[in-house]
């Protein structure tokens, strides 16, 4: 989880903290399913419903914030993917840039059942969830949600709504990442992403664990993106970069290795 000392320090300065139990939260959570067929892989969703104008954070929170964290408890033989996020919004609060979801959000996870299932015993997925929800101030919240796989009522319409918000692979666009270069100077990594094809209108970087990134200092032109990473350790290196590229109002995700320049 991308929780670092600098982020904590920024939050202490710019936002107020309080803790909330799951019976009295700004964001209400529930687990829902797209399908009642549990004999093959299927999607479930962690659904957040927030009070108006409150928001939770994307996997890259930006300059401040704490992302959603989930601890799953699964029936025997089941496995589950990492969270799959829809395209976030950008928020600018007191000069801090962050990324997240306002009012409501559906975070996906793909569930793979065992190859064979015997009996009709109870099959429940449980999620212990913690998150930060913000407006003028920020509140740390947590809660637990359960999904009874044998008795759940599917909500495919809600999944369809949020599937339309999922970023597409960059291969589905006419834009390509030609090179990603990293130049280290004075303890900082200067990153340059070079692009070919249609011009890029915006860029949301993926998670940058072990680094400090000032998101307001990202420079974007039609075919080049530049930003600076400051590592927490002298031994930390940049091996790959990821993020969302916005082309004609559509978000495309990418993950590319980095070429190190001398």
Residue 109 and residue 85 in contact, taking contact as beta carbons nearer than 8 Å? no
Cα dihedral value 96, 97, 102, 104, nearest 10: -120
Question: What is d(CA 210, CA 246) in angstroms, rounded to the nearest whole number?
Answer: 25
Q: pLDDT-based confidence at 23, cuts 50/70/90?
A: low
pLDDT at 79 over 50: yes
The better pLDDT of the pair 195, 236 is held by: 195
CA triplet 142, 144, 148: central angle to 5 degrees? Answer: 160
Average pLDDT of 185-195?
96
Side by side, the strands of the sheet bearing 240-247 are 168-169, 250-257, 240-247, 202-205
Mean pLDDT of 193-215: 95
The pLDDT score that the predictor gives to residue 121 is: 75
Domains of the chain: 5-163 (2.60.40.1250), 168-261 (2.60.40.10)
When pLDDT is averaged across residues 85-91 and rounded to a whole number, the result is: 97
Q: What confidence score (pLDDT) does residue 75 get?
A: 94
Given a cut of 60, is residue 14 above it in pLDDT? no
Mean pLDDT of the 142-164 span: 96
């Amino acid at each position: 989880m991308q929780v670092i000392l600098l982020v904590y320090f920024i939050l202490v300065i710019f936002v107020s903290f309080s803790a909330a139990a799951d019976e009295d939260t700004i964001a209400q959570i529930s687990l829902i399913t797209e399908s009642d067929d549990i004999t093959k892989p299927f999607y479930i969703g962690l659904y957040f419903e927030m009070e108006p104008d409150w928001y939770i954070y994307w996997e890259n929170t930006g300059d401040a914030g704490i992302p959603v964290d989930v601890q799953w408890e699964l029936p025997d033989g089941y496995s589950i993917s990492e969270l799959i996020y829809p395209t976030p919004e950008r928020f600018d609060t007191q000069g801090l840039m962050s990324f997240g979801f306002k009012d409501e959000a559906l975070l996906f996870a793909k569930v793979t059942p065992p190859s064979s299932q015997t009996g009709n015993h109870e099959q429940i997925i449980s999620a212990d969830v913690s998150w930060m929800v913000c407006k003028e101030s920020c509140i740390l919240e947590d809660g637990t949600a359960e999904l009874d796989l044998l008795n759940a009522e599917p909500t495919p319409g809600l999944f369809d709504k949020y599937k339309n918000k999922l970023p597409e692979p960059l291969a589905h666009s006419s834009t390509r990442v030609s090179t990603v270069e990293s130049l280290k100077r004075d303890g900082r990594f200067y990153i340059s992403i070079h692009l070919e094809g249609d011009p890029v209108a915006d860029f949301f970087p993926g998670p940058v664990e072990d680094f400090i990134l000032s998101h307001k200092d990202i420079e974007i032109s039609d075919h080049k993106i530049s930003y600076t990473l400051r590592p927490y350790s002298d031994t930390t290196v940049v091996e790959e970069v990821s993020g969302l590229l916005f082309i004609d109002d559509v978000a495309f995700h990418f993950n590319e290795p980095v070429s190190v320049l001398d």
